[in-house]
Amino acid sequence: RKGAGDVSGRLFRCTFYSDPEHERLLREKEMENAMEGALENGEFVVYLQPKVSLETGETVGAEALVRWDSEDRGLIPPDEFIPFFERNGFVIKLDLNVFEQVCRLMRAWMDAGLEPLPVSVNLSPLHLQMPDFLDAFEEVRERYAVPPRLLELELTERVAFENLELLRRVVDDIHARGFLCSMDDFGSGYSSLNVLKDIPVDILKIDRMFFSSDDERARSVVSSVVELAKKLDMGTVAEGVETIPQVDILRSIHCDAVQGYVFSAPVPIDAFEKMVFGEDGGEIHS
């Protein structure tokens, strides 16, 4: 590491010769060493983000989003470890662990006499390469005796699906086991129209990039997508919605639900329970 650069006028340039590529490899090595222990210690925690119905204004479900609560590094967002875990395969175990946490939570809601809300979990595209992965999900669901209709599996459209036939088979298998299936990040991939044509998911989650501008054309696209989804009998959830005007537009084009900071960021489970079930949410896990 060399020292600071020059100070000239108002310009202060500071150059450190620590190779970012080297740092990344070090971090990945650290994660590799820590991941199994972290899973056992319960460091992968589930946050929940509400999905709000545009018709009733009520919370009609939630998405489970994982964070790594690391002793050394604090709360790490998924974008910093999921891509690596997709490369080393650990995401397979992690996704199942997240799913189990969700099933355990729903069991607790039902045991407390609360009306359980449907919760979705994310599936890494890596699962598609393992034909029998749903056996493990079904085993967990049965163990907690959660009705499968309350569980939704999200497949992401961000990857190019080269093999739509395989995708179709997975979606059919998800349905055969009674789970719901959604297409995440819809519109961000390359195959969106083929996916619509060939893959009978229950819900389209429309990617937030469509809401990042108030551009008239983007709005037309979203409105057409919502209309198409309805014709194909799919529900629609708009992701990443941040403003009230966006909500108003989405309501006017009959989008079903909104998931975004405008209503709530993802929050820890106890905070979610307070939000949805009121203060007696505190008694659920006693």
Q: What is the contact surface with Mg ion in residues (CB under 5 A)?
A: 122, 154, 184-185, 239
Interaction partner, residue 264 (ligand C2E, Mg ion, none; CB < 5-8 Å by kind): none
Complex with ligand C2E: residue 46 or 199, whichever CB lies closer: 46
Residues 84 and 30: beta-carbon distance below 8 Å = no
Q: Give dist(CA 134, CA 115) in Å, integer.
A: 26
Q: Is 268 helix (H, G, I), strand (E, B) or coil?
A: strand
Residues 16 and 71: beta-carbon distance below 8 Å = no
**Which residues touch 27 (CB under 8 Å, ≥6 apart)?**
none
Q: What one-letter code names the amino acid at 159?
A: V
Minimum distance, C-beta of residue 184 to Mg ion, in the bound complex (Å): 4
Complex with ligand C2E: residue 101 or 150, whichever CB lies closer: 101
State which of residues 48, 62, 92, 98 lies at the interface with ligand C2E (CB under 6 A). Answer: 98
Pairing of strands 257-259, 11-12: unpaired
Q: Give dist(CA 106, CA 117) in Å, integer.
A: 8
State which of residues 242, 268, 274, 284 lies at the interface with ligand C2E (CB under 6 A). Answer: 242
Beta bridge partners of 186: 206
Q: Is 73 helix (H, G, I), strand (E, B) or coil?
A: coil
Minimum distance, C-beta of residue 250 to ligand C2E, in the bound complex (Å): 13
Decide: is 124 part of the binding site for ligand C2E (CB under 6 A): yes
Complex with Mg ion: residue 124 or 133, whichever CB lies closer: 124
Decide: is 122 part of the binding site for ligand C2E (CB under 6 A): yes
Decide: is 240 part of the binding site for ligand C2E (CB under 6 A): yes
First to last CA, the chain: 52
Decide: is 256 part of the binding site for ligand C2E (CB under 6 A): no
Binding part of the chain for ligand C2E, among 139-147, 159-167, 258-266, 272-280 by CB under 6 A, reads 258-266
> For the stretch 200-221, what's the b/e string if a residue is b when 16 or more beta carbons lie within 10 angstroms of its beta carbon?
ebbbbbbbbebbeeeeeeebee
Interaction partner, residue 258 (ligand C2E, Mg ion, none; CB < 5-8 Å by kind): none
Neighbours of 42 (CB within 10 A): 10
State which of residues 152, 185, 256, 273 lies at the interface with ligand C2E (CB under 6 A). Answer: 185
Binding part of the chain for ligand C2E, among 23-31, 103-111, 244-252, 260-268 by CB under 6 A, reads 260-268
Question: CA 169, 152, 261 angle in degrees (round to 5)?
Answer: 130
Complex with ligand C2E: residue 91 or 119, whichever CB lies closer: 91
Decide: is 189 part of the binding site for ligand C2E (CB under 6 A): no
Residue ranges binding ligand C2E (CB under 6 A): 49, 65-66, 77-79, 82, 91, 95, 98, 122, 124, 156, 184-185, 208, 239-242, 260-261, 266
